[in-house]
A and B are shown apart, each in its own frame.
Chain A
Amino acid sequence: MVLMDVLSVRNILHDAEKAKDKKAPMGVDVTIENFTDEDLNALDVLDDFEDLSKKTKDDLLKVGVDTEENERAGSFLQVDQSNVFTNNSISNNIEIMNIGIALDKYSWLKDYMWQVVKPDADKYTAKTALREEDDGIKSGYFIRSLPNTKEVFPVQACMFISDEDVMQTAHNIIIAEENSELHLITGCATGEDISSAMHVGVSEMYLKPGSKITFTMVHNWAEQVEVRPRTGIKLGDNSTYLNNYILTSPVNSLQSYPTAYCDGVNSRAVFQSIQAGKKDSIIDVGSRVLLNGAGSAGEVISRAVSQDESKIYSRGHLAGTVPDVKGHLECHGLVLSDNSMIYAVPELEASSTNLEMSHEAAVGKIDEEEINYLTSRGISEEEAASMIVRGFLSIDITGLPEELTNTTQKMIDMSVEGM
């Protein structure tokens, strides 16, 4: 190892060590020690993606991961702390591999580690960094689209928790090289009977000039799972990042606040999210776009519905630091039960002149007039309410290739169907 590398590792370790007990500024504080660290690759590698049980395959399909790999450009599956399946051979345009393998293969990759997510952000990132550097747990995926390529089919990546009390960490690096297009479907789920587990996923994405990434994530956790994704996205000139996030299953608590740094000229980031709070779930999801590049634009759209005793904090933050940037924020919430709650926090921050930023926030219950209207067409009151909720949650998926739009729309419809 050259001296610089040794120093940078030491820095990461040093920072992480200091932040070991640092609470996150948002979300319920989780006692990490209640969960068990797993060994790297303790589970056997799958010879065939189809070797999973029927039940697991169905679970994966629910979060958009198709073990038959129809219309997919590649696959990655991590179960607990083991990378049990990788298919890197479908597309010549895209590389997919375990992050540890990638770090061995590409000496430059370390320069992308811990750049847009900091190891000392909170105890969850610290934990991931410490496991990585101290225990050599290099889990997570590396996905890269090669320069000047346009793969229309998505890569699918899945994080799966199969065992009780598991603490799953992952560090993912996604790079879209110059003028390339990369589509990702990432699904997260837990196996049957998992009553308690924790997932921390650090994801760092880099968009080189002229590139585009679409990132569609479906979460299907169990009732007692703690989820702390930590995501940073860095956008180069004329690049576009589209993020769709869907959560409609119960979870114990989930907190995330992905941040896009629109540093490039005319770069653009769009976050759309759908959250349905069920049972006792405490969901705290935001999206942040920092408009640092001239002509950059950001859009944050969220739809939240709360049922049962759930609590949803729906956040959005746009910050414009240079002139001629544009941003729009939209937080809409529907409160469906008296014991649930939605707290919408839209924030706009302008530290330059001549920028255009707006927000729209509305939280309420189902409009009785709309129910009446539908019942006056012969639809029962119950069905009318569920149509309105489904309609409320159906956001337009734009910017994806046609094939993927349909798949994504189906994924959303499927998630929203039971509402």
Chain B
Amino acid sequence: MVIFMLLEIENLSVEVAGKQVLKGVDLSIDNGETHVLLGPNGAGKSTLFLTVLGFPQYKVIDGSIKFKGEDITQLSTADRVNKGIGVSFQNPPAIRGVSVENLLKLESHQEVNQPLNSRMKELAKKLKFSDEFLQRDVNFGFSGGEVKRSEILQLLAQMPDFTMFDEPDSGVDIENVELLASEIGALLDKELKHDLRKRSGLLITHLGYILNFINADKAHVLMNGKIICSGNPGEIIEDIQKNGFNGCVECAQYPS
């Protein structure tokens, strides 16, 4: 029997560049669950992701992050990732001289001097990447949509137990949102029955359109560095669409 959540964030306060961005965030995600993180621009959503990932600029001034029951607050990013955490970035940097293919090999633990294995080749094709594209430098000169698809492809190489998706749908056309959603589904064990699912995820989206293709179990609204309400994704999104994020503030003040 599992006695701990896959991810448990407790009272997390984080400072970036001398400014406190997160102010006591609590969030738990169980095995097999998909959560959605909503909130206005600048609320601290990406900050939360990058803190879970352990980027050095994000200083934890209070609270803790537990993954698979272990406190990972002090671990390096690479160590956390090797324990099963993955992320798709909102705006990843370009890496000159490192090809997509070589990065995929490293992520899927293949020898760099061997040809890319067939699983990855098929996935690349599924995500509409040609062989030539795979030779390109990572993110260098990629279109917005190509960046998003390449991020998902890299996660498919890693197959993390817990994946954070930072706006995987922003700037992506309708057809490609469906394609991405189906691969995100693969990363979240969506093909399995709910109680058989192991992999979990947390997804940031502004438009919510992608949620038409990915069922989420729970939604959270982050505002000014705090989670101000959590609940049924459909209801919360509907409420935000009707009343904006201010509606959430009210619901936080008068919890039902």
- Among residues of A, the one whose C-beta sits closest to the C-beta of B96 is A391
- Among residues of A, the one whose C-beta sits closest to the C-beta of B53 is A376
Q: How far is the CA of A374 from the CA of B100 in the complex (A)?
A: 12
- Among residues of A, the one whose C-beta sits closest to the C-beta of B97 is A391
Contact A391 B95 (CB under 8 A): yes
Chain A residues with CB under 8 Å of B78's CB are 375, 378-381
User: Which stretch from A153-161, A180-188, A289-297, A364-372 is at the chain B interface?
Assistant: A364-372
User: Which stretch from B81-89, B179-187, B203-211 is at the chain A interface?
Assistant: B81-89
Chain A residues with CB under 8 Å of B77's CB are 372, 375-376, 381
Q: How far is the CA of A370 from the CA of B154 in the complex (A)?
A: 15
B residues 22-53 with Cβ under 8 Å of A?
A: 53
* Cβ distance A395 to chain B, nearest Cβ, rounded Å: 8
Chain B residues with CB under 8 Å of A374's CB are 95, 98, 103
* Cβ distance B20 to chain A, nearest Cβ, rounded Å: 21
Whether A393 touches B81, Cβ cut-off 8 Å, given contacts A376-B53, A377-B103, is no
Name, among B76, B78, B106, the residue most crowded by chain A CB atoms within 10 Å (CB to CB): B78
Q: How far is the CA of A388 from the CA of B96 in the complex (A)?
A: 7
Q: How far is the CA of A128 from the CA of B215 in the complex (A)?
A: 78
Chain B residues with CB under 8 Å of A390's CB are 97
Chain B CB within 8 A of A394 CB: yes
Chain A residues with CB under 8 Å of B87's CB are 376
- Among residues of B, the one whose C-beta sits closest to the C-beta of A396 is B97
Contact A373 B95 (CB under 8 A): yes
Contact B97 A392 (CB under 8 A): yes
Q: How far is the CA of A378 from the CA of B92 in the complex (A)?
A: 15
- Among residues of B, the one whose C-beta sits closest to the C-beta of A394 is B97
B residues 63-107 with Cβ under 8 Å of A?
A: 76-78, 81-82, 86-87, 89, 92-93, 95-98, 103, 106-107
Chain B CB within 8 A of A387 CB: yes
Whether A387 touches B98, Cβ cut-off 8 Å, given contacts A370-B93, A375-B81, A378-B158, is yes
Q: How far is the CA of A367 from the CA of B139 in the complex (A)?
A: 15
Name, among A369, A373, A378, A393, the residue most crowded by chain B CB atoms within 10 Å (CB to CB): A378
What class of interface size applies to chain B in its complex with A?
20 to 34
Judged by DSSP, the binding face of A is helix
Chain A CB within 8 A of B55 CB: yes
Whether A377 touches B98, Cβ cut-off 8 Å, given contacts A369-B93, A372-B55, A391-B137, is no
* Cβ distance A160 to chain B, nearest Cβ, rounded Å: 31
Whether A378 touches B98, Cβ cut-off 8 Å, given contacts A369-B93, A372-B55, A391-B137, is no
Whether A377 touches B154, Cβ cut-off 8 Å, given contacts A369-B93, A370-B95, A391-B98, is yes
Chain B residues with CB under 8 Å of A393's CB are 97
Chain A residues with CB under 8 Å of B106's CB are 377-379
Name, among A367, A368, A376, A394, the residue most crowded by chain B CB atoms within 10 Å (CB to CB): A376
Contact A376 B81 (CB under 8 A): yes
Chain B residues with CB under 8 Å of A387's CB are 95, 98
- Among residues of B, the one whose C-beta sits closest to the C-beta of A382 is B78
Digit string of A357-369 for contact with B (CB within 8 Å is 1, else 0)? 0000000000111
Chain A residues with CB under 8 Å of B158's CB are 377-378
Whether A388 touches B95, Cβ cut-off 8 Å, given contacts A376-B87, A377-B154, is yes
Q: How far is the CA of A378 from the CA of B83 in the complex (A)?
A: 9
Whether A388 touches B98, Cβ cut-off 8 Å, given contacts A367-B93, A377-B154, A378-B82, is yes
* Cβ distance A374 to chain B, nearest Cβ, rounded Å: 7
- Among residues of B, the one whose C-beta sits closest to the C-beta of A378 is B81
- Among residues of A, the one whose C-beta sits closest to the C-beta of B107 is A377
Whether A373 touches B93, Cβ cut-off 8 Å, given contacts A387-B98, A391-B137, is yes
Q: How far is the CA of A367 from the CA of B97 in the complex (A)?
A: 14
Q: How far is the CA of A389 from the CA of B94 in the complex (A)?
A: 14
Closest 10 CB pairs of A and B: A391-B97, A378-B81, A375-B77, A394-B97, A391-B98, A369-B93, A375-B78, A380-B78, A370-B93, A377-B107
Inter-chain pairs besides A367-B93, A372-B56, A377-B81, 20 sampled, C-beta below 8 Å: A370-B93, A372-B55, A372-B77, A373-B89, A373-B92, A375-B76, A375-B77, A376-B55, A376-B77, A376-B81, A376-B87, A377-B103, A377-B158, A380-B78, A381-B77, A387-B98, A388-B97, A388-B98, A391-B98, A392-B96
25 A-B residue pairs with Cβ-Cβ distance under 8 Å, sorted by A, are A367-B93, A368-B56, A368-B57, A369-B93, A372-B56, A373-B89, A373-B93, A374-B98, A374-B103, A375-B77, A375-B81, A376-B53, A376-B81, A377-B81, A377-B106, A377-B154, A377-B158, A378-B82, A378-B158, A379-B78, A380-B76, A391-B95, A391-B96, A391-B137, A394-B97
Interface residues of B, Cβ cutoff 8 Å to A: 53, 55-57, 76-78, 81-82, 86-87, 89, 92-93, 95-98, 103, 106-107, 137, 154, 158
